[in-house]
Amino acid sequence: MFWRTIDTPKEAMKRLRRELGVSKVVATLLAQRGFLEPEDAERHLNPRLAHLDDPFSIYNMDPAVDRLIDAMHKGEEICLVGDYDVDGVTSTSLMVMILRRLGVSPRFYVPRRLDEGYGLSEAALERILGDGKPDLFVALDCGTNSVQEVASLRAQGVDVLVIDHHQSKDETPADAILINPHISGQSEAAWGDSCTVGLVFKFVHALVKRLREQGDPTAKEIVLRDYLDLVALGTVADLVPLRDENRIFTRFGLQCLGRTERPGLLALMQVAGLELEQPLATTDIAFRLGPRINASGRLGDAAVPVNLLLSEEYSECLEIARELDERNRERQSIERAIFEEAREQALAQGNAAGLVVYGKDWHPGVVGIVAGKLAKEFYRPCLALGGEGDFAKGSGRSVAGIDLQAALHLCDSLFVEWGGHPMAVGVTLEAVNVEKLRPAFADAVQTVVPEPPEQEIEIAAWLDANQLGGDVVAALEELQPYGQSHPTPVIGLRGVRLTDNPLVFAGRHARFRFQGTSGAPFSAVAWGMGNRPPPVGKEIELAVKLGWNRWQGRCEPQAEVLDWRA
């Protein structure tokens, strides 16, 4: 990969060092990421819950809260429907928890992905309404594009509230209360990039605030920050930018998660191999907790993880968590087999600007992961499709600099339906049109970005290897939590020499120790580099991410190697 050193506004960096008293590395990263004024940088380094905006500044929040309170006071039937991913599961769980605290017992549903598809499908509504017609229908993490389904509910006299963050393809539902900053033109607000669970937190904040004003004694007892563990789970897993309010949610949510007493989360952390009482990072959500919550929705019933989060019985939670863990292992096995086939198809498409891979027998629950892996490996947008009767359904993933939605608009006529974000989409088309889609999608991507972005490593700062120690790692911890739009910085290390031969493990990865011209050896791991480990005895440069390796009560600094060069 091409290594590029990020330019640093040097005067701003010096001012941040002087006025905030931070290290050179931290000041450099803050300046590179646009925090040029000490006040803005301080707010980023030390976010506070008091920095959260008034939830009633969100368009439609007033009528949404009033309608729910009216339903509560009248004892009306309330029905919640959430998506089957982590954002939808945590959104549903959070809303159910708060309503139950307030004495309301809503019905809740999660679409069955394999039978009913995404969101407010006709099949999902048929099952839901089969249990009785509600007075108020609340759609969470879906509904923005469900024009016909919402119209059907309204025709039956059901009021509809939608809390969602997905963008609209064409029109939005009429005669419904819609909370969605991307539709209301508020995407530039501090909460404009929130995923749905973040918006649900804003909603319950507004709900509790209004009920307190009305003298509700239960509302006065609710401590909202205790629910930020759920918000952090959905926010990190849904890959929304960890800036502004998302950063606040995640910073305090990780703290809440680390001391959680929810039996479901404790059980999930146990089966995921996370040590309790240890600081948690966004990577723990992204690679351990999130995939296990997602696995049930991908292969079976996403109501299972909702039940896990809502249950108060630890023995029941542990049983559910083990089921999710087994589902995740099953998902990994299916995914590996499909990925090998998909990769062969991708190689056969040569230098196409966008890739389309398809297998009529591929499991629709894992094609999104396959699309993401192919996009990362080939550094091009990819659509991965499985078969469903006469249709091909699947997911798309993009790479930095290419808006996937813009590309799909250019070949819209080939799809039965599609929707999502610039970086991730879901699509459905007739299977006979897959061959037409391949050249059409490649041409669309090339139209959106005529020159494909070059895969590169952005070096934030350079250090001599003998300068490296736990103090540098600790300084970088000040900028946690890292995630989308605020990535873990890549540090360039000069003067590196391996102290011994790398140990290749699991057939694909390498582990070794290195040191500079002086200083103690430093531990390193190189994922996927077992076939090209760094040489022993020669002076090299490393591009690394620095962090802590915590294992069985021990903690030591570790470098994650992204690339090396002579």
With bands split at pLDDT 50, 70 and 90, how would you rate the model's confidence at 518?
low
Note the pLDDT tens digit of each residue in 241-272.
999 999 999 999 999 999 999 999 999 999 99
According to CATH, the topology of domain 55-322 is: inorganic pyrophosphatase (n-terminal core) (3.90.1640)
Query: Which residue stretches of 411-543 are H helix?
Result: 434-448, 470-477
pLDDT digits (tens, 9 = 90+) for 550-561: 777 778 889 999
Concatenated DSSP letters of 525-541: EETT-TTSPPPBSS-EE
Contacts 24+ apart (CB under 8 A), 201-204: 201/94, 201/227, 201/228, 201/231, 201/249, 202/55, 202/58, 202/61, 203/55, 203/61, 203/64, 203/65, 203/95, 203/163, 203/179, 204/94, 204/95, 204/98
Within 8 A by CB and 6+ apart from 179, the residues are 58, 59, 60, 61, 64, 161, 162, 163, 164, 199, 203
Residues of the chain with CATH 2.40.50.460: 2-6+456-565
Q: Distance between CA 90 and CA 551 in Å, rounded? A: 28
CA distance 131 to 101: 24
Average pLDDT over residues 456-476: 90
CATH 3.10.310.30 positions along the chain are 349-448
**Mean predicted lDDT score pLDDT of the chain:** 93
Partners of 543 in beta bridges: 492, 563
In this structure, which topology does domain 349-448 adopt according to CATH? Diaminopimelate Epimerase; Chain A, domain 1 (3.10.310)
pLDDT (tens digit, 9 = 90+) per residue, 34-80? 999 999 999 999 999 999 999 999 999 999 999 999 999 999 999 99
CATH number for the domain running over 2-6+456-565: 2.40.50.460
Size (the chain), residues? 566
pLDDT of residue 379: 93
Residue whose pair of structure tokens reads 């995640």 in the numeric block = 250
Q: Among residues of the chain, what percentage have pLDDT more than 70?
A: 99
Q: At CA 378, angle to CA 374 and CA 382, rounded to 5?
A: 50
Average pLDDT over residues 96-110: 97
E strands, 332-414, in order:
355-359, 382-388, 391-397
Cα radius of gyration rounded to whole Å, the chain = 24
CA distances to 8, 17, 30, 34, 39 from 14, rounded to whole Å, are 10, 5, 11, 14, 14
Amino acid at site 184: S
**In the chain, what percentage of residues exceed pLDDT 90?**
80
- Give every strand in the sheet of 78-82, ordered side by side: 107-109, 78-82, 136-140, 159-163, 177-179
CA dist 354 → 169, 396, 456 (Å): 21, 10, 18
pLDDT at 397: 95
The whole-angstrom separation of Cα 167 and Cα 276 is 38
Asked if pLDDT for residue 517 goes beyond 60, the answer is no
| Full 3-state SS string of 352-374 | CCCEEEEECCCCCCCHHHHHHHH
CA distance 149 to 153: 6
Give residue for tokens 């959430």.
Answer: 82
Q: Where in the chain is the domain with CATH 3.90.1640.30?
A: 55-322
Greatest pairwise CA separation for the chain in angstroms: 77
Beta bridge partners of residue 418, listed in sequence order: 427
Task: Please give the DSSP secondary-structure letter assigned to residue 46.
Answer: S
Arithmetic mean of pLDDT, 190-213: 98
The DSSP line for 240-274 is: ---SHHHHHHHHHHHHHHHT---HHHHHHHHHTTP
Per-residue model confidence (pLDDT) at position 167: 84
Using CA atoms, how far residue 401 sits from 21, 119, 175, 384, 446, in Å, is 35, 28, 36, 20, 12
Higher pLDDT, 100 or 472: 100
Peptide bond into 279 cis (omega under 30): no
Is-contact 96 109, C-beta < 8 A? Answer: no
Do the Cβ atoms of 405 and 421 come closer than 8 Å?
A: yes
| CA–CA dist 293, 283 (Å, integer) | 15
The reported pLDDT for the residue numbered 239 is 87
Q: Is it the case that residue 115 has pLDDT exceeding 80?
A: no
Secondary-structure breakdown of the chain: helix, strand, coil percentages, each rounded to the nearest 5: 45, 20, 35
The sign of the dihedral angle between the CA atoms of 326, 284, 554, 314 is: negative
Query: pLDDT at position 507, please?
Result: 84
Question: pLDDT for 324-373, tens place per residue?
Answer: 999 999 999 999 999 999 999 999 999 999 999 999 999 888 999 999 99
Ramachandran region of residue 528, left (φ > 0), alpha (ψ -120 to 50) or beta? left
> Which residues share a beta bridge with 523?
513, 558
Please state the rounded mean pLDDT for residues 203-218. Answer: 98
